[in-house]
């Protein structure tokens, strides 16, 4: 069979022989990648310097790389190496045997049977959020930092049996700084030391030191308590201790969960609230559904699955604004994808944002249409086309907890407030490692009367 020819756009102006397409990609990664999908199709060849790199959006190809032949496509890419500078060697960034061993240790922790343990923490955190919003009733409130604080609190209570409230602001500030600096590194082309890079390195090291100190205190407190491996992941790793279970090893595991866990969930919460409140039809549907299913009563493990309209809206929100919008893989040996031969060492960029905005799969892809995820329609979506939590063996281990906290917080907000989007604040994407709202998302909260 003849090797399929893959289209490639013109290289960077002036410096293209040296940089390939790296300068074009660094200016605005998301915008440039969308232009490649629209102008060159769903399988595009690029050069990052001399490194052959493919932008792969075709659902069949994505499914092959992430699921069908995942063993041949590792996370050993330049981008993931930069992320691992923040998280260390954790279950999110590791590959091969080391990743598999860590994944096996934490898998039981994320079992659905733990829902009964998670839910009280989610309710407690949601009630604290409601108390805060009650003090701002009828005012325009930027929900993004509130959602971030809430998901960080839930992470601490469900995963580490720890109240992170007193560290929340510091933890969030330093983690955001690390995310920002990592994004800066990803888009840097020439590794030449400059005064700006020296300042960035010092800022990076300072934030890392502060975070590591907070996490080390958590580890020491956990060691002093009775072991509860089903409630505290630190105890899980301590009970399966090996020669590699050093202080740094434990710090890395916690940072991985913090980095991959709360930031993505908080963004899904914020974008979901924006989309629901910006669409009167679905706002009213979800409001009526929550009133009908639960009324003023408390959430339970049994009724969490009784909100089909809300669930459809959340899935559509994650289609439009996926928790992780871009990921990478490296071919560990020669392979063939969609009739095209690829070589060992080739890099693949796979963007859930692109796959989920592909007009060849999703009609009117920029529209908010939750009915795409009705039982009848969802089964028609090809494997590899909708991947907000990834697919295959490296899919997100915390998907169940994430969906539970997102549904829980939104239901509690609907139970307690009449909500309206503040449209004076322009909502735009701020493309970082995750998709944030550049100017925030502002909402008016009016407290419901008890008789409502």
Q: Tell me how far apart the terminal alpha carbons of the chain are, to the nearest angstrom.
A: 68
What are the boundaries of each domain within the chain? 16-447
DSSP per-residue codes, 166-205: GGHHHHHHHHHHHHHHHHHHHT--S----HHHHHHHHHHH
Pairing mode of beta strands 43-48, 73-74 = unpaired
CA–CA distance, 367 with 355 (Å, rounded to integer): 15
> Over pLDDT 70: what percentage of the chain?
94
Query: Are 349 and 65 within 8 A, CB to CB?
Result: no
Q: Which of 147-156, 174-183, 288-297 has the highest mean pLDDT?
A: 288-297
> What is d(CA 153, CA 137) in angstroms, rounded to the nearest whole number?
22
How crowded is residue 138: how many other Cβ atoms within 10 Å of its Cβ?
A: 10
pLDDT digits over 369-392, tens only?
A: 999 999 999 999 999 999 999 999
Q: What is the dihedral of CA 419, 424, 426, 427, to 10 degrees?
A: 0
Q: Does domain 16-447 have CATH number 3.40.50.2300?
A: no
Note the pLDDT of residue 449.
Answer: 78
pLDDT in tens, 298-330: 999 999 999 999 999 999 999 999 988 999 999
2 neighbors 297 (Cβ within 8 angstroms): no
Residue 227 is given by DSSP the state P
CA gap 390, 33 in Å, rounded: 19
Mean pLDDT, residues 33-54: 96
d(CA 299, CA 304): 7
When comparing pLDDT for 95 and 364, which is higher?
364
Residue 396 φ/ψ region, left for φ over 0, alpha for ψ in the -120 to 50 degree band, beta for the rest: beta
Nearest by Cα to 259 from 130, 89, 438, 392: 89
Distance separating alpha carbons of residues 420 and 426, to the nearest angstrom: 14
**In this structure, what token pair is assigned to residue 169?**
């602001």
Residue 187: predicted pLDDT? 66
Say yes or no to pLDDT of 91 above 70.
no
> Average pLDDT of 250-269?
83
Buried residues in 183-197 as b, exposed as e (16+ CB within 10 A): bebbebbeeeeeeee
User: Using an 8 Å Cβ cutoff, are 176 and 436 in contact?
Assistant: no
Give pLDDT, residue 316: 98
246 pLDDT exceeds 90?
no
Mean pLDDT of 26-46: 95
Over the stretch 96-152, which tens digit does the pLDDT of each residue have?
A: 777 777 777 778 778 888 889 999 999 999 999 999 999 988 899 999 999 988 998
Over 70: is that where the pLDDT of 440 sits?
yes
Query: What is residue 31's three-state secondary structure?
Result: helix
Q: Is the pLDDT of residue 452 over 60?
A: no
Residue 427, pLDDT above cutoff 90 = yes
Name the residue among 358, 149, 368, 151 with its Cα closest to residue 272.
368
Of the pLDDT bands very low, low, confident and very high (cuts 50, 70, 90), residue 94 is low
Please give the Cα distance from 22 to 383 (Å, whole number).
30
- Reported as a single tens digit per residue, the pLDDT across 395-424 is 888 899 999 999 999 999 999 999 999 999
Rounded to the nearest 10°, the torsion over CA 352, 357, 358, 359 is 170
What is the rounded distance in angstroms from the CA atom of residue 255 to the CA atom of residue 325? 20
φ and ψ at 5, to 5 degrees?
A: -85, 130
Question: Which position has the higher pLDDT, 154 or 167?
Answer: 154
Distances (CA, A) of 355 to 21, 145, 247, 387: 21, 28, 39, 8
Are residues 282 and 370 in contact, defined by beta-carbon separation less than 8 angstroms?
yes
Would the pLDDT of 442 be above 60? yes
Average pLDDT over residues 70-78: 92
* pLDDT tens readout for residues 177-212: 887 787 777 766 666 778 888 898 899 899 889 988
Residues 151-158, mean pLDDT to the nearest whole number? 90
pLDDT at 411: 98
**In whole angstroms, what is the distance from residue 249 CA to residue 226 CA?**
21
8 contacts: CB under 8 Å, gap ≥ 6? 40, 44, 45, 46, 47
pLDDT of residue 107: 80
Q: Are 44 and 55 in contact (CB under 8 A)?
A: yes
Least confident of 77-81, 86-90, 232-236, 306-310: 86-90
According to DSSP, the residues that pair with 417 across neighbouring strands are 447
């Amino acid at each position: 069979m003849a090797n399929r020819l893959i289209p490639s756009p013109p290289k960077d102006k002036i410096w293209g022989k040296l940089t390939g397409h790296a300068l074009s990609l660094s200016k605005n990664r998301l915008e440039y990648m969308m232009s490649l999908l629209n102008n060159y199709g769903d399988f595009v060849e690029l050069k990052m310097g001399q490194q052959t790199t493919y932008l792969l959006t075709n659902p069949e190809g994505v499914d092959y790389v992430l699921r069908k032949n995942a063993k041949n496509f590792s996370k050993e890419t330049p981008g993931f190496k930069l992320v691992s500078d923040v998280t260390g060697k954790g279950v999110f960034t590791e590959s091969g045997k080391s990743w598999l061993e860590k994944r096996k240790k934490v898998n039981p922790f994320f079992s659905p049977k733990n829902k009964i343990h998670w839910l009280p923490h989610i309710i407690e955190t949601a009630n604290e959020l409601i108390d805060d919003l009650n003090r701002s009733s009828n005012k325009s409130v930027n929900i993004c930092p509130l959602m971030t604080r809430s998901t960080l609190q839930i992470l601490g209570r469900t995963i580490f049996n720890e109240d992170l409230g007193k560290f929340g602001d510091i933890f969030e500030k330093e983690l955001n700084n690390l995310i920002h600096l990592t994004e800066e590194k990803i888009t840097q082309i020439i590794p030449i030391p400059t005064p700006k890079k020296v300042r960035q390195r010092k800022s990076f090291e300072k934030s890392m030191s502060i975070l590591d100190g907070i996490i080390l205190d958590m580890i020491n407190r956990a060691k002093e308590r009775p072991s509860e491996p089903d409630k505290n992941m630190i105890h899980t790793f301590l009970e399966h201790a090996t020669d590699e279970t050093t202080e740094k090893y434990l710090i890395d595991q916690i940072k991985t969960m913090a980095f991959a866990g709360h930031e993505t969930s908080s963004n899904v919460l914020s974008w979901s609230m924006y989309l629901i409140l910006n669409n009167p039809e679905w706002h009213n549907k979800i409001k009526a559904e929550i009133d009908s299913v639960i009324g003023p009563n408390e959430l339970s493990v049994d009724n969490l699955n009784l909100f089909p309209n809300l669930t459809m809206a959340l899935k559509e929100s994650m289609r439009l604004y996926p928790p992780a919008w871009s990921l990478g893989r490296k071919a560990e040996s020669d392979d063939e994808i969609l009739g095209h031969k690829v070589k060992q060492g080739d890099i693949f960029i796979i963007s859930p944002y692109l796959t989920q905005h592909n007009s060849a799969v999703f009609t009117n892809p920029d529209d908010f249409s939750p009915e795409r995820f009705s039982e009848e329609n969802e089964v028609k979506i090809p494997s590899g086309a909708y991947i907000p939590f990834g697919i295959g063996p490296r899919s997100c281990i915390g998907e169940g907890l994430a969906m539970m906290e997102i549904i829980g917080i939104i239901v509690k907000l609907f139970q307690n407030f009449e909500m309206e989007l503040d449209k004076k604040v322009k909502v735009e994407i701020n493309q970082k490692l995750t998709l944030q709202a550049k100017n925030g998302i502002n909402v008016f909260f009016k407290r419901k009367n008890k008789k409502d």
